[in-house]
Amino acid sequence: MSILVPQATAAGPRGLYVACRECLKDFRSSELVGRLCVTCRVHQRCAEVRGELETFIRKQRRYAAAGAAVKPEQLERLKRRLIRRIQEVAPDPRMGMELFEKELQAALAPTGVVSRGRVLEVVQASQLLR
């Protein structure tokens, strides 16, 4: 959480630009809700599911190391929940897909699952760990 006080930064041709209080990037004031941009609102909304995804991936690795498997449906369920949360905040499907990748990256990054840029590869990689 930023402790900086958001300020109006510039008046552009399409209206007043204001900094998002979390990422500090400038947005048209109409794009902010509670002084947060859509990306930061999605990130906030997905925090719980990201934590569960991270826990799941770690569990998957422990199980794999022990020669056991976890149910793949569990991962599918978590991904669907992530998508639903994103859709609640960002109904536009294209933006939703981008944010889905971003949120999945954020969830998997702490687990050390190597990403080559595309989350779908990351997910497949994580499924191979089973």
Structure tokens at 123: 């997910």
Min dist CB 20 to Zn ion, Å, is 3
Decide whether 64 or 105 has the Cβ nearer to Zn ion: 105
Decide whether 47 or 69 has the Cβ nearer to Zn ion: 47
Min dist CB 4 to Zn ion, Å, is 12
Decide whether 20 or 46 has the Cβ nearer to Zn ion: 20
Report how many residues bind Zn ion under the rule CB under 5 A. Answer: 5
Type of residue numbered 101? E
Q: What is the DSSP letter of 28?
A: E
In this structure, is the dihedral angle defined by the CA atoms of residues 94, 98, 100 and 103, taken in order, positive or negative?
A: negative
The answer to whether 40 and 20 have CB atoms below 8 angstroms apart is: yes
Min dist CB 1 to Zn ion, Å, is 12
Decide whether 17 or 63 has the Cβ nearer to Zn ion: 17
From residue 3 to residue 42, the character string flagging contacts with Zn ion as x (rule: CB under 5 A) and all else as - is: -----------------x-xx-------------x--x--
Q: Which helix (H) or strand (E) holds 9?
A: strand 8-12
The alpha helices in 1-130, defined as continuous H runs, are: 38-45, 47-65, 72-89, 93-108, 119-128
Residues forming contacts to Zn ion in the complex (CB under 5 A) are 20, 22-23, 37, 40
